[in-house]
Structure 1
């Protein structure tokens, strides 16, 4: 079973700490009483949708991350009676993944641990297999820069997602492990502290070197959350553009 580990209040508190903001400053920016902000963080108050939106706005949490944060932190988000959720892909899950002809993998957010990758993904991204961390592959495997002509832009997006999502949602020890390993790369510290422009956050095209033709190919990035059956990972796909 996947354990419900973090609350929405814990995420708000850890996100606030990560951006160097006091509770009072956050409350002012969110236009809510400080006591409300304190009660949300402590778990004494369950925030309404409006309050949570105001807090996320104050903390500059990208809109497209908010639904996933809710699914990880709100115990009432997942309906009861759906049965056990496996920690690792079942044979049926793997058959589903293998049926996709273009690169695809199962990733656990916010740590970007890859729990399974189909054969196309492994051909396009050498060195990736079940158990690979996408961040560590991006920064430490020389193949990353070879197959991603726009490596810097892709790496910045990945680091930003990890930095925004991880505090309060992932185990502190696991966050530190990934950051320490990636810190061996000379680009890591600069990318960790550099904010992204809004136009950079909306990139949905990935330029990849085709392993067959050796030519650069633009692919559309898609991320899907399994609805039925429920799974704790996301399906990441790269598909040819129209």
Structure 2
């Protein structure tokens, strides 16, 4: 946080906490209803007990005082107030001007509508990657120009793993070194948002063990944002293709990235013929 805190944000924080406390009933948090409740919602003392903080500290927060709670305190309050994901992020943004780091676990599920959209984009190549760049969906055009991820082992269906360990990737990308280093920088930026995700640590270790380039580039600490742009691909039948691409984030999970490509009209026609002949 900065030294100067906007008083309006402090007031907003206090109002937000009070509104969420007032909407809860004792039964919502496993407390007896009791009697003589003069106001709706939970008492301040009850929320403070659930969050393991003092009632006075909670009162200061609700009054908009500049007491600067830590992220751990905010997470405790989010749990006590039964906040949803968006509400928890809003709470952190009011205090720290940034959402909390995401800690994800388990596999990723792609909404069926997104998978259907990817297929409908043929013959424009398109694919969706998850938080660690696992390939969650790819249409026929993408599989024809990159690789057929559906034929790979599940733990190999990852854009970074393919980029750094499959010799074919160095043929597919005309500018492989530029593309690979940028991909690694984007991955590192994502890893910083998921400090508790063991999957990132495991994938990073696998990449370092398998790729001398990853071992050489990782200590540089390069980071890069997601971005649209142009890629140059090489195909054994179509030759070199220059393709513009856009990166779209899904609303249901902003770590899922839909990447769609568009070539020149003549090249798009040849891609269509290629996949039609399969």
TM-score greater than 0.5 by the shorter chain: yes
The unaligned stretches of length 5 or more in structure 2 are 6-65, 76-90, 266-278
Distance in 2 (alpha carbons) for counterparts of 1:180 and 1:102: 34
Deviation per CA, 1:126-146, whole angstroms, max 9, x where unpaired?
243384111111111111111
Equivalent residue runs for 1:155-234 within 5 Å: 155-169=180-194, 171-183=196-208, 184-196=210-222, 204-215=229-240, 217-227=241-251, 230-231=252-253, 233-234=256-257
Whether the 8 Å CA contact 2:229–2:245 is kept in 1: the answer is yes
Determine helix, strand or coil for the equivalent of 1:126. Answer: coil
Question: Could you say which residue in structure 2 is the equivalent of 1:41?
Answer: 71
Asked if 1:133 corresponds to 2:158, the answer is yes
Determine helix, strand or coil for the equivalent of 1:169. Answer: coil
**Structure with more contact order per residue of length (Cα contacts < 8 Å, sep ≥ 6):** 1
CA distance 1:31–1:140, shift in 2 (3 Å): farther
Whether the 8 Å CA contact 1:206–1:220 is kept in 2: the answer is yes
Determine helix, strand or coil for the equivalent of 1:212. Answer: coil
CA distance 1:135–1:237, shift in 2 (3 Å): same
Structure with more of its chain in helix, by fraction: 2
CA distance 1:161–1:240, shift in 2 (3 Å): same
Asked if 1:98 corresponds to 2:119, the answer is yes
Structure 1 residue 212, shift from structure 2 partner: 3.1
Deviation per CA, 1:47-85, whole angstroms, max 9, x where unpaired?
4469526xxxxxxxxxxxxxxxx59859xxxxxxxxxxx
The structure having more radius of gyration, on CA atoms, is 2
Question: Could you say which residue in structure 2 is the equivalent of 1:122?
Answer: 143
Question: Could you say which residue in structure 1 is the equivalent of 2:84?
Answer: none
CA distance 1:98–1:203, shift in 2 (3 Å): closer
Q: TM-score, normalised by structure 1?
A: 0.60
Q: TM-score, normalised by structure 2?
A: 0.53
Whether the 8 Å CA contact 1:219–1:238 is kept in 2: the answer is yes
CA distance 1:99–1:160, shift in 2 (3 Å): same
Distance in 2 (alpha carbons) for counterparts of 1:201 and 1:94: 21
The unaligned stretches of length 5 or more in structure 1 are 1-26, 54-69, 75-85
